[in-house]
Amino acid sequence: MSTGANPPGDAARGTTRARRLRNGQPAMAATLAFIIAFALAGAVAAFVALQWQTAAEQRFARRTAALRETVEQALIADEALLRGARGWLAQAGAADPEGWQRYVSGVDLENSRAAVVALGYLALPPGAQSASSAQPATATLWAGLAAMPNSAPGSAVGQSTASEAARRYAGQTGNAGLAAEPGADNAPPQLMLYLPAYVPQAVPQAVPQTVPSAAAAPAASPVQRPLTGFAVATLDPQRLFEPILAAQPDLALTVHAGQPAVELYRSAPTEAAEVTPGTRFEHIDQIAFGGATLTLDASTDGSPLLTGAATCAAAILLAGAVIAGLCAFLAWRLARAQAAPALAPEPAEGEAHLNEARMMGIIRSSMEAIITVDETQRIVIFNPAAEFVFGLSAMEAIGSPLSRFIPARFRAAHERHVEQFGATGVTERQMGRQQRVLFGLRANGEEFPIEASISQIRDASGKLYTVMLRDITERLRAENSLKRSREELRELSANLQNVREAEKTRIARELHDDLGQQLTALKIDVSALENRLRGAIDSDNAERLAGMRKLIDSTVKAVRRIAADLRPVMLDDLGLVPAIEWLANDFTNRYGIAVQRHIHTGNAAFSRAAATTLFRIVQEALTNVARHAEASVVVLTLEVDGQHCTLRIVDNGHGAPAHPGDSPERTGHDKSFGLLGIRERAHMFNGTVEIDTAPGEGFAIAITFELDTLQSEETAS
């Protein structure tokens, strides 16, 4: 017969299921911690790889810019070689083929670093006076490593459109013209440099013995002397570009020139491109030289494997995996420590002491550093948290004296404290009551602040003292940072109050002096106008003038009231006490609340800033009474007693509820910052604020200052 109670078997199965669920919690926590940490590492790796690739692409752009400059310098050097040949022609003439051969042999084109492989001279046909002649030029001289293109000596050469344009450019500007000659019969293309040769001047000039540099080139302006022909240089693109690329073997370069574009050079594929094809960095640049445009198309392998981005990302991921594993292990230990009490079997009835293994498990899983010493203060238990805090293993710590972990200046006091604690018989006590912070000593000699508590127990072998401590270095650092921040905010608040007070003073002075005088002058003018027109105007206009005079009077009163609210003139002229008297009378006139004054300052003289602060505190307190208190009487007391000055304002209003834990600035009917402003103003002069209130008992606020601070100008600043 069923009784409604759970059978013992069901209870056992429920306990087993609960235990399995609790056993799975550490594994779930470890898995979640690993996933989160590894995901963060992946995000960091992706970001670093992207930045690494961007930096690699920027380095490639700088390399291509340097490549362009190197090609320009090489072309200028080749042009300088051609100018030297033209100088020889101007001196020896074109009728000495053997001398030309000797000159070119002396240049030694084969071993030079220039790209020039042949030098020659093209004479203009008879009767042709310019480079734009329709008749082709003929080669009269030719020497070097390469044969004359496409023909034998004496034949017309350079008949392509590019060569004609280059000769035309050279003849018009006097500078070298560059042309890209496509190769014939599968021959490689060549670059041709044309430099105009002129009829020698009547007075021969000395020919320089050295080859002129590119900087000595003539200005780009038409030459007035008639042309005789062109000095020609044939440039081998292989000799021009391969030495430049030899210093950068990982760059691939393709060069085109002319319209339509002629491919002058294409470098062989790099080994990296054949091994790891993929992402490439490309940059196209153009060089304008000799009336022609060379297009440089440079590229290199931008694969993350070669730039190092993949290696860096892999290293970050590997480190992230290690950190994620560590986080998973810590999460597993923490979850296991939290679940340990629930997993531990309940002790049997009548069991008086915990099993030693269970106690050691709790000690080892504790996040607090636990150290147990015997009566001689030698360590017998040193848990893993203590190993982490003090920086050494339990094997090294056990058996050593506890004084090893206490700074030398505190060791004697600590030994006496432990002895006195053992004599009292108290089971536990918080340590460090005689000093605000205790200090420990790490194995590396570093001191650090701690919080500690001590307990004692007696067993068969004697007394054991157990100390539980916590490293509070980070907490103290945070507290000090918060304290500094609070002080900086208070200084900022004080400065803002001073700036605000100065601005109020300036505005009040301008309202009183400038606007008040202008309104008075306007009133005088209206009165004079009214007297002059009296009897000559109708009653309606007379009433309007009278209304204008009344409006001016009310405006003058409003200006004076606003100026007085901003900064009473009497506060600066007569001092604090008359200003408070005026403020109390004005408060009574406005709100109908009587103000009883008890002001006894004797001969005390307040600084300007202190007088302003006291006046503003009274003003803010009376404003709070008018807004919230619903009072009929206010008692205002200002007394100087010995070295103290006390300001007290009490009303008979309905008061305010003072809940435990409420901050004083929140004690009121709303969340205004009136009382907070009073506290900040009082803090500027090291004043203390006390509030006494209760529902139906009124509201009282008292501020006490040191008299010296109210009389010192340095405190105000």
**Chain-centre distance of CA 99, in angstroms?**
72
Contact 530, 546 (CB under 8 A): yes
| 529/549 Cα distance (integer angstroms) | 11
Q: What integer pLDDT is reported at residue 646 of this predicted model?
A: 93
Task: Collect all residues with Cβ–Cβ distance below 8 Å to 480 and sequence separation of at least 6.
Answer: none
User: Sign of dihedral through CA atoms 49, 55, 59, 62?
Assistant: positive
Task: Collect all residues with Cβ–Cβ distance below 8 Å to 80 and sequence separation of at least 6.
Answer: 211, 212, 213, 214
CA dist list (Å): 552 to 514, 520, 524, 541, 557:
15, 8, 10, 17, 9
Contact 324, 38 (CB under 8 A): yes
* Low-confidence spans in the chain with pLDDT less than 70: 1-24, 126-139, 147-158, 184-185, 201-224, 270-278, 340-357, 425-436, 460, 490, 494, 497, 501, 512-513, 564, 567, 569-570, 658-673, 713-717
| 488/496 Cα distance (integer angstroms) | 12
Residue 343 is inside which H or E element, if any? helix 309-343
The 3 state secondary structure assigned to 22-71 is: HHHHHHHHHHHHHHHHHHHHHHHHHHHHHHHHHHHHHHHHHHHHHHHHHH
Buried-exposed string 583-617: b where 16+ CB fall within 10 A, e elsewhere: bbebbeeebebebeeeeebeeeebbebbbbbbbbb
Contact 594, 652 (CB under 8 A): no
pTM attached to this predicted model: 0.42
Angle between helices 309-343 and 8-92 (to 10 degrees): 170
Q: What integer pLDDT is reported at residue 155 of this predicted model?
A: 44
